[in-house]
C-alpha cells in the first residue's frame, strides 16, 4: 500500500536513511534490455528519493552505489557504471548547489578510475559548505573491509602509544570508519524483494529499522519512500529497553 505525504508524521522523521538500490539488472531484463539500461534509468529514482528525503527534513541519505564485490562484474558493465557516475555528478552539480546539497562519498575511493576520483573530489569540494542535506554515495564500499581497516589503524595507534587499549570504545571505532562524519542509520531500505544486508554499513545499522520492498529500484518513487518512512514511524524503537521503559522515558 502506498502512503501519501499527508500520512507522514513530520515530527518523527529519520535523521539518516540508507538505501540498497537493488533490481536495476532485473528491471532491464524484464524489458529485454542489457543491465546498463537499468542503471541509466535508476537516476530518476535517485533524484526522486533525494528530493523527497530532503523535503521531509531527512538530513542524511546514503546510497549503496557500488560495492567492493561489484568489481567482479563484467568489465563492460563496470566501465559503464563508472562513466555514468562521472557524467551524472557533472550534470547534477548545479542542482546540488541550488538545493544546498552536500555530496559525500565512502568506500575504498582510491580503487575508482582516476577520472572518477577527480570528478568526485571536485564535486565534494564544491559542495562542502552546503548545509541543508547530505547525500552520500557508497562507492567501492564493503563494510567488512571498512571494519578491518579500522581495526588495523587503531592497532597501529596502540603500538605507537597513541591509544590505550582500555580506552577503545565505540566512539573510537566510529572515528576510524569511512562514516566518521555521519550519524548512525535510522532506517535501512532495500528494494527488489531481496531481504539481506549485503555487506552494507554493518556497524552503522546496529539499531536501524529495516524496510524491504518488492519495487525494483528504477521504479522507486517518492511515494515508496513515504511508505518506508510510514512503516518506520509505526515501529517501536527500544534500543535494548522494554516498552514500559520507553513509555516512561527511563
- Residue 65: closest CA among 142, 149, 150, 119: 142
Q: Would you please indicate which residues are annotated as catalytic (active-site) residues?
A: 22, 70
CA 59 to chain centre: 12
Nearest to 182 by CA among 56, 17, 12: 17
Contacts of 17 (CB under 8 A, 6+ apart): 53, 58, 60, 61, 62, 185, 186, 187, 188, 189, 225, 228, 229
Cell of 162: 597513541
Residue recorded with cell 523527497: 52
Using CB atoms within 10 Å of the CB of residue 81, give its burial: 0 to 12 exposed, 13 to 18 middle, 19+ buried. Answer: buried
Q: What grid cell was written down for 9?
A: 508524521
Segments of 8-158 assigned E as strands? 16-20, 60-67, 101-106, 133-141
Are 21 and 194 in contact, with CB atoms under 8 Å apart? no
Coil, helix or strand at residue 212? strand
Asked if 141 contacts 179 with a C-beta cutoff of 8 angstroms, the reply is: no
Q: How many Å apart are CA 108 and CA 110, to the nearest integer?
A: 6
Amino acid at each position: 500500500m502506498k502512503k501519501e505525504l499527508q500520512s507522514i508524521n513530520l515530527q518523527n522523521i529519520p535523521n539518516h536513511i540508507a538505501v540498497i538500490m537493488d533490481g536495476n539488472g532485473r528491471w532491464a531484463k524484464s524489458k529485454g534490455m542489457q543491465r546498463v539500461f537499468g542503471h541509466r534509468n535508476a537516476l530518476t529514482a535517485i533524484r526522486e528519493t533525494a528530493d523527497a528525503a530532503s523535503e521531509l527534513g531527512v538530513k542524511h541519505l546514503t546510497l549503496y552505489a557500488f560495492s567492493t564485490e561489484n568489481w567482479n562484474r563484467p568489465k563492460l558493465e563496470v566501465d559503464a557504471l563508472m562513466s555514468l557516475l562521472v557524467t551524472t555528478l557533472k550534470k547534477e552539480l548545479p542542482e546540488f548547489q541550488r538545493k544546498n546539497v552536500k555530496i559525500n562519498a565512502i568506500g575504498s575511493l582510491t580503487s575508482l578510475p582516476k577520472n572518477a576520483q577527480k570528478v568526485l573530489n571536485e564535486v565534494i569540494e564544491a559542495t562542502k559548505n552546503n548545509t541543508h542535506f547530505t547525500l552520500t554515495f557508497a562507492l567501492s564500499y564493503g563494510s567488512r573491509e571498512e571494519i578491518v581497516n579500522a581495526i588495523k589503524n587503531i592497532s597501529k595507534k596502540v603500538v605507537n602509544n597513541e591509544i590505550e587499549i582500555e580506552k577503545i570504545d565505540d566512539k573510537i571505532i566510529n572515528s576510524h570508519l569511512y562514516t566518521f562524519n555521519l550519524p548512525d542509520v535510522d532506517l535501512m531500505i532495500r528494494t527488489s524483494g531481496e531481504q539481506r544486508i549485503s555487506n552494507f554499513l554493518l556497524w552503522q545499522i546496529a539499531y536501524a529499522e529495516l524496510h524491504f520492498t518488492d519495487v525494483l529500484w528504477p521504479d522507486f518513487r517518492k511515494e515508496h519512500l513515504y511508505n518506508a518512512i510510514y512503516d518506520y514511524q509505526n515501529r517501536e524503537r527500544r534500543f535494548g529497553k522494554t516498552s514500559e521503559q520507553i513509555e516512561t522515558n527511563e
